Amino acid sequence: MSEPSWLHGHPHDPNPEPPSGDASFTLTFPDGAPHTVAVDALQRLPYTEAADCYIVSTGHGTSGPFCFGGVLLEDLLAAYTSGDAAWRYCDIVSGDGFGNRILRAEVEAGEMALLAYALDGRGLTREEGLVRLIVPGETDDALRQVKWIAHIRLNG
């Protein structure tokens, strides 16, 4: 399997039109079994906030600080895999094809990867991403911030 084009760079131009207004995404396990995850399912999982986050957006500069709220990637995976899934990395891909790779080692080392559905105490709008990946420690031109999550694929 070839690596995705977004893995080693940022070929993604700003998208003026957000993809679908449906915030559900597909979580796919290493065996290929897919599960649809809706925002209301995320809201039933433990809630985490990441304060003082900045968005470094391609073509739009830096904005913030913001307080994002949502579910830690590890909490989502624990809920859907009972914590025992064998995976080395997961690809988090937007509805417009942009993506990011999160290594299991990063998660186990405490790197925060938040599937945010709230911004400053309110739900994210379609333009803001509905459900978006926030990696608070990332400061390099939005390489680890994925708006409009459509797929999360666990890879063994």
CATH T-level topology, domain 23-155: Sulfite Oxidase; Chain A, domain 2 (3.90.420)
Q: For the chain, what are the domain ranges?
A: 23-155
pLDDT single digits (tens) 27-84: 998 888 899 999 999 999 999 999 988 776 666 677 888 999 999 999 999 898 866 6
Sign of CA dihedral 63, 127, 142, 146: positive
* pTM as predicted: 0.85
What whole-number distance in Å separates Cα of residue 15 and Cα of residue 81? 33
SS3 at position 105: helix
pLDDT single digits (tens) 122-155: 999 888 888 999 988 776 655 678 888 999 999 9
Main-chain dihedrals φ then ψ at residue 69, nearest 5 degrees: -130, 145
Cα 17–chain centre separation: 19
Give the helix/strand (H/E) hosting 26.
strand 25-28
